[in-house]
Structure formats: C-alpha cells, structure tokens
A and B are shown apart, each in its own frame.
Chain A
Amino acid sequence: MVRGDFFILLPLIITGGAAVAVMLLISFRRSHLATATVTLVALGAAVISVICVAAAAPRQASALLILDSYALFYMGLIFAAGCAVTMIAYDYFERQTDHREEFYLLLLLATLGSAVLVSSNHFASLFLGLEILSVSLYALIAFHRERLPSVEAGVRYLILAAASSAFLLFGMALIYLERGDMTFFRSTQIASGVPAWSPLLLAGTALLIVGIGFKLALVPFHMWTPDIYEGAPPPATAFIASVSKGAAFVLLLRYVTLFGLHSGSVQSAAIAAIAVASMFFGNLLALREEKVRRVLAYSSIAHMGYLLVAILAAGPLAAVAAGYYLVAYFTSIIGSFGIISVREGREGGGDAVSDYRGYAWRHPWLGGAFTAMLLSLAGIPITAGFVGKFYLLAAGLESSLRLLVVVLVASSAIGLFYYLRIIITLYGPPEAERQGAAITPAVSLAGGVALTALTFLLIWFGAYPAPLLRLIQAMVGG
C-alpha cells in the first residue's frame, strides 16, 4: 500500500526533492545556468511522471491527498507552466547580477505548493499547500529586494495573504465544528435529518470563499492585484497570474462540485454576485490604467470572474469548459508576461503603455507573439482564448445562466478596448530616440523557445482544439 502511495506521489516527490537538490546545488556551486537547468529538468520530469502515474489513478494517498485524473491533469498543467516560467525567468535573470539562483528554489517550492493544493481533499493538506505556495510567493514577489516597489508589493502580499489565511482557517474551524470532519467529502455531505445549511456551516463556507477569493483576486478581495503585478519581477508575476490563481481555482471547483451547488441557493447567489462584480469591475478598472502590468492585473480579475461562470454552470460541459479556459488562460498570460519580462530585461524603462510604442517594429516576432497573446486574452478566434470563452458561454447557456452569460459578453466587449489599445500601441510609430536602437539578440534561446512554444500552443489550441478537448474530457469530464 505504502509503495503504491509513493508511486502515485512521484510528481510531488520529484518537485520536493528537486527543491532540496537546488538548495544544495546553490550552496556548493552558484551557477545560474546549472540551477535553471536542474529546475527545468525536474519540472519536465514531474510532467512526465504525471503521465506515468496516470494509469494508477485514482488513488487516495494517505488521508490528505487524492490523486485522481482531475488532480493529475491540473498538476501536469502546473508543472508545464512552471517549465515555461523557468525559461522566461532564465532569460530575465541572465541580465541581473544579484542572488538570482534562489528564484528557482522558490519557484519549485511554489509549484510544489500548487500541486499539493490541486490534489488536496482534506483541510489540512489544503492549508499546507496554500502556505507552501504563499510563503514562497512572498519571497518571489519581493525578489528585487533593492527595489522599493518590489519589497512593498511583497510586504503587501504578505499581510493580505496572511489575513486571507486567517479567514480560511476560521472557516475551516467552523465547518469542522459543525461536521466533525476535515475531509472535503465528509464535510460537504449532508447527513439525513440534519438541516442542510446550519448557520455555522454557512458562515464557514462564506469564510472559505473569502479566503479563496483573496487568492483568486475576485472583486471585493482584489485590491492587492495591481500593485503586486506591478511590483513583482515579471517572471514571478507570470507565476502568480497563472499557477497560483489556477491552483486556487481548481481547489474551489473541486470543493464546490462536492457541495453540489444548487442554483437559487444563497451560496450560488453569492458566487454569482462575485462573478458579475469581478467581470465588470475588472474590465472597467482596467480601462483607467496606464501601465501594461496593471491593465493585465485588472484583466486577470475579469478572467477569474469568467471562470466562476463555469463553477456556477455545474453542467456536463462546465468542468471541460473550466479546464479548457484555464489551459488557454495559462498559455496567454504566461506568454504575455514572458514578453513583458523579455522587454523589461533588455530595454528597461517604465511599464507604461506608451513605452511599448513601436515595439512590434523593433522586434516583429515578439510583437506578433504579444499581439497573439492579447488577442487570445480578448477572445478572438483561432486563439485558444476564443475556444475557451466559447466553451464558457456554452456551459453557461447549457445551465440557463442567462444573466451571467450576458454579463460575460458585455464585459468582454468592454475588455476589448484596453487590449486593443495595447495592440495598436505596439504598432504605433516608434519614438525618435528608440529608433534604430534595437538590441540584438531580441531574446535569449531559453526565452525564445518558451515564447515560441507558447505562441504555437496558443494557435494550435485555437485552430484545432479537438485533441486537447479529448484529453480534458477524459481527465476532468468524467
């Protein structure tokens, strides 16, 4: 039994072992290339191990972790995203000098935390995963410790994440008090003769939603997002935007699915309100921003709102829609921050939209890739984002969530405006002093490979989504 547990936990063991190995590697030989290579190999091995252990799924490994195909699919996604972030980070930190090797150590730990999160079905493992993730993120965000905005963002995240953890813990405690059990399954099942929703359970669930809402940056709990997106080093932002949020979302989806959310209940009304607010405020607030990273921060709030539609839809299409949208969102947001990171690593300077003027003429391939990423975020066809949004709409309509679907459509029409503004700036006339100052090469090998792969996937998933859909259907649809 124990051996089987070890086998199915292989992805987690590889990642955790790699973190220790990287730590020892740094202590004996500080080499940026070696550290990044070890990280990349470990994350790649973790992806492969996910495929290897898939045959043994589902399996409950100890009381804490469930390794079903749902968890394994998202684990694979998280590890793959980790690979992409590693390559982008290598490109970015190659031009920095100070203490850059630790970034990969923290990245591995954060990835490990996210993987634990998606496979947890017990409050203890939930908290464990969340804290591994959060504590690594504090350091990742404040990684430029000599730059004030970065440190400020780190402290801000520390305080808010700690507060949200407190909410989460309190919520868990209340649910435990009511149900006397910490596993997701038993804490959500309603015994006969007991009123379905006692005040304690309701309050506990509400607090859980608050805690997860912080992580997802849904609207009443979204305040941290723009500053942290702006302050953190771009590769770390890519990680927060994709993996950290994705893992929290996957967890929420699992938990809510177990509850069997009924339309018309207080919970679903609350989540619907949060979704509507996130979609609208995310897109509207993004209009006022002048900095690309802040725009993307608000847009990510809206994207999480879109994803909540899948949670509320809860139909047969919903799980697939959520899975596809997450894949599409991961690809486009990591790609976007990858390009921001590549640009900032070389051109430096501010992050204002106007700083991107003429970027597509200086670096046609990077500009084209950025355009594709933004179009995907906006949901234009033959990009993955369009198919994802299409699926969300289909899932919503299937469950007759008319209001939410209309809000989704209306708010994404608003959202177009700021994506277009960035795109057209990319193709604007370049500023005089920047003209002819194209630095060669535009991107290093690692960054180039990562961005090419992401762009390719983006178009592939958008133009021919059938294989990916089959995979998602098989892994999370059942």
Chain B
Amino acid sequence: MSGAELNIPALWPFVVYSGVVIFMAIGMLGTSYILGERHRGGAMGQPYECGIVPTGSARLRHSAKFYLIAVFFVIFDLEAVFVFAWAVAVRESGWAGYAEMLIFIGILLSALVYLWRIGALEWGSRHTPRRGAEDSL
C-alpha cells in the first residue's frame, strides 16, 4: 500500500510477543535436545518411542464418533462467534437483526435435530432409525 506509514510505537507489543513465542518454541525443543537422554538399539526406531514393540497393523479403524465430537465442537463454537458479533451490535441492528439471528439459530437448531434423529449423537449403541446403517459401518 502506498503512503501507509508504519506506526512503530503501536507495533512493538506485537514484536515482543512474536519474539517470545519464537524463543519459547526454540527453547523447549532445544532444551530437550540438549538435556534429553539418548538410547540406541532395541525398538527405539519404531513408532511409539517408549520402546515397546508395536503389534498389529497401524491401519486401525477408529470409531468416527471422536471426530464427530470434534466437528460438533467446531460447529457450536463458531456459532457462538457469530452470536458474539451480533451481540456487540444488537441495538444498532434492531429487530431485523434479531429476526436474522433467530433464523440463523433456527437453521442450526434444525441441523441439530437432524443429527439427533439420525443417531449421530449416539455414542456407543447403534439403535439408529436409519436403514442399512449396519452394513455400512
């Protein structure tokens, strides 16, 4: 951008912060590199560096539920972000903004209802109303 002057005094906390972050990251890695013990031999080259020989294949099928929970977290936290943004300007946006927020929440709620009904919120058991779900998992 032409003509935009850099405001040095306003930037220095950011510079300090960046410096601290980089120093900490290097420091933690470097300290463990210097102080850490080193063993050679045995099963140390294997995955899981604790020295136990792994058994079985690494290609396990995890239950997808873990990821579902993570996805829910993302969805509902992001929803909160939008709600916060609205809350800051709630008076300015007025009833129209309120209605829009209601629609937004309503859509999310119906998505939640959908997830609930198809059994995506069930943790362990699989008594889902979905046809053919058993053979797909």
Contact = CB atoms under 8 A, between A and B. Distances in A.
Interface of A: 2, 20, 23-24, 26-28, 30, 97-99, 145-146, 177
Give the interface centre of A2, A26, A27, A98 by most chain B CB atoms within 10 Å. Answer: A27
Give the interface centre of A2, A23, A26, A97 by most chain B CB atoms within 10 Å. Answer: A23
A189 B127 CA distance: 60
Contact of B132 (A2, A24, A28, A99): A99
Contact of B110 (A2, A20, A98): A20
A27 B113 contact: yes
A116 to B, nearest CB: 15
A97 B133 CA distance: 10
B129 interface: yes
B131 A2 contact: no
Given A27-B117, A27-B118, A99 B111 contact: no
A145 B111 CA distance: 21
B132 A30 contact: no
Nearest to B118: A27
B62 interface: no
B1 interface: yes
A28 B129 CA distance: 10
Contacts of A26: 114, 117-118
Given A145-B136, A177-B1, A24 B131 contact: no
Interface string B63-97: 00000000000000000000000000000000010
Contacts of B130: 30, 99
Given A23-B110, A97-B132, A98-B132, A2 B96 contact: yes
Contacts of A27: 110, 113-114, 116-118
Contacts of B116: 27
Given A2-B96, A27-B118, A177-B1, A97 B110 contact: no
A98 B114 CA distance: 17
Contacts of A99: 130-133, 136
Interface string B21-59: 000000000000000000000000000000000000000
B107 interface: yes
Nearest to A22: B114
A20 B116 CA distance: 15
Nearest to B107: A20
A146 B136 CA distance: 7
Interface of B: 1, 96, 106-107, 110-111, 113-114, 116-118, 129-133, 135-136
A2 B110 CA distance: 26
Contact of B131 (A20, A97, A177): A97
Nearest to A25: B114
Nearest to B116: A27
Contacts of A24: 110, 113-114
21 contacts: A20-B107, A23-B110, A23-B111, A24-B110, A24-B113, A26-B114, A26-B118, A27-B113, A27-B114, A27-B116, A27-B117, A27-B118, A30-B129, A30-B130, A30-B131, A98-B132, A98-B133, A98-B135, A99-B130, A99-B131, A177-B1
Nearest to B1: A177
Given A27-B118, A145-B136, A146-B136, 17 more contacts: A23-B110, A23-B111, A24-B110, A24-B114, A26-B114, A26-B117, A27-B110, A27-B113, A27-B114, A27-B116, A28-B117, A30-B130, A30-B131, A98-B131, A98-B133, A99-B133, A177-B1
A97 B131 CA distance: 7
Nearest to B112: A27
A27 B129 CA distance: 9
Contacts of A177: 1
A137 B118 CA distance: 21
A364 to B, nearest CB: 35
A24 B115 CA distance: 10
A27 B120 CA distance: 11
A43 B11 CA distance: 53
Nearest to B132: A98
A147 to B, nearest CB: 11
A-B residue pairs, 9 tightest by C-beta: A27-B117, A98-B132, A27-B114, A23-B114, A97-B132, A24-B110, A20-B110, A27-B113, A98-B136
Contacts of B111: 23
B19 to A, nearest CB: 27
Contacts of A2: 96
B99 to A, nearest CB: 10
A2 B93 CA distance: 13
A28 B131 CA distance: 14
A332 B107 CA distance: 36
A97 B135 CA distance: 11
A26 B111 CA distance: 11
A28 B113 CA distance: 9
Contacts of B133: 98-99
B127 to A, nearest CB: 15
A28 B106 CA distance: 17
A20 B103 CA distance: 11
A43 B82 CA distance: 30
A146 B135 CA distance: 9
Contacts of A30: 129-131
A97 B106 CA distance: 31
Contacts of B129: 30
Nearest to B130: A99
A148 B107 CA distance: 32
A20 B136 CA distance: 25
A349 to B, nearest CB: 22
B47 to A, nearest CB: 24
B35 to A, nearest CB: 41
